[in-house]
Amino acid sequence: MKQTIADIRAKGFEPAIWVAPFIAQQDSRVLREHPDWFVKNAQGEPLDSSTVSFGGWRYGPWYALDGTHPEVQAHFENIFRTMREEWGVNYFKLDANYWGAIQDGAHYVQNASRIEAYRQGMQAVLRGCDDETIVLGCNAPIWPSFGLVTAMRTSGDIRRAWWSFKSLAVQNLSRCWQNGTLWDSDPDCIVLTTDSPWNIEGNVTENEWMFHATSIHAVGGFILSGDKAEHLHAKEVGILKKLLNPTSKGARFANAKLETGITDLGDTQYYYFFNWSDTETIDLTVPLSTSGNLTDFWTDEALGQHEGSYTVKGLAPRSARLIQAIK
């Protein structure tokens, strides 16, 4: 592991690591050697998460470490301090955090709620970190994580399919106000090609890809590519390059329909237009915060000087437009 991390640094990158601190599979060493560390069922045995909720997406059923247990807390602190000080990793993607707040279990501290158990476990993780550590919460309970993570996934997992693009856009755009206020928001990966062998679930149209890319831009937070570089062609590389300078500010939307929104950066504004319909072509209008030269962000098409409002006419189903305005 240390050599792999050294190789990453030698190539000019910063290493990051995926960690799921709260879970253990049935045949794991930690469950075998320390069954007392786990959230218990009514019989006082480690709670099988599949009996009360989702049992895990691989190697299940999962068992949840008890964040109120002092030895678990020491274990968490030691793991993260070791990875930071000895391995040289200071960026952690914490996944499956929900299991740290698993329901219907008994804890070492008997009167502790599942939220208290989760927060105590996360506080132990942070004791192994320092002020420069990036802690990304993923599949985490959002409000119980307040003050405990640097960044937060604000949606489910992406799939290369329209239903996924639409579902995740609803989640991310409804929460993108959090970006830069509560934490840096992670809308999950930008995916731009079906060349990947992973998560291909049907044909995706050009309009649907651009809907997805536009929703990622509106969040203004983390940009993580979900494609192998070798699978990207010139057009996809161009889109990715445009996304790699995020606004750092979440868009504000006119209403809960999430059809039109704006990110106002002062001298530059970004206007978002989304058609969520599967069949209907629509016109959408936004009020312009100031007069300026408008450009289609993705195509670089000059749209001229405008003031007052701007209308996108004939926006196709399952598509989006992103217009940039510069004073």
Percent of the chain with pLDDT over 70: 97
- Looking at residue 327, what is its pLDDT? 83
Q: For the segment 155-192, what is each residue's pLDDT rounded down to a tens digit?
A: 999 999 999 999 999 999 999 999 999 999 999 999 99
Instruction: Give me the long-range contacts of 205-211 (CB less than 8 A, separation at least 24).
Output: 205/162, 205/318, 207/316, 207/317, 207/318, 207/319, 207/320, 208/162, 208/165, 208/318, 208/319, 210/298, 210/319, 210/320, 211/165, 211/166, 211/169, 211/274, 211/275, 211/318, 211/319, 211/320
- Looking at residue 6, what is its pLDDT? 87
- Looking at residue 260, what is its pLDDT? 98
- For 42-59, what is the mean pLDDT? 95
- CATH number for the domain formed by residue range(s) 1-153: 3.20.20.70
- Looking at residue 2, what is its pLDDT? 64
Between the two ends of the chain, the Cα-to-Cα distance in Å is: 50
Cβ–Cβ < 8 Å for 194, 126 = no
- Looking at residue 198, what is its pLDDT? 57
- CATH number for the domain formed by residue range(s) 252-326: 2.60.40.1180
- Amino acid code (one letter) for 90: N
- Looking at residue 194, what is its pLDDT? 81
* Strand, coil or helix: 222: coil
Average pLDDT across the chain, whole number: 95
Question: In whole angstroms, what is the distance from residue 269 CA to residue 292 CA?
Answer: 9
Q: For the segment 79-111, what is each residue's pLDDT rounded down to a tens digit?
A: 999 999 999 999 999 999 999 999 999 999 999
Lowest average pLDDT, out of 46-50, 97-101, 196-200, 294-298, goes to 196-200
CA distances from 43 to 46, 63, 145 (A): 9, 15, 30
- For 251-258, what is the mean pLDDT? 96
Question: In whole angstroms, what is the distance from residue 238 CA to residue 244 CA?
Answer: 10
Q: For the segment 294-323, what is each residue's pLDDT rounded down to a tens digit?
A: 999 999 999 999 999 999 999 999 999 999
- For 61-72, what is the mean pLDDT? 98
Q: Using the predicted structure, report yes or no on whether residue 287 has a pLDDT greater than 70.
A: yes
pTM: 0.92
- Looking at residue 226, what is its pLDDT? 92
Q: Using the predicted structure, report yes or no on whether residue 42 has a pLDDT greater than 80.
A: yes
Q: Using the predicted structure, report yes or no on whether residue 196 has a pLDDT greater than 70.
A: no
- Looking at residue 4, what is its pLDDT? 86
Residue-range domain boundaries for the chain? 1-153, 252-326
Question: In whole angstroms, what is the distance from residue 98 CA to residue 63 CA?
Answer: 12
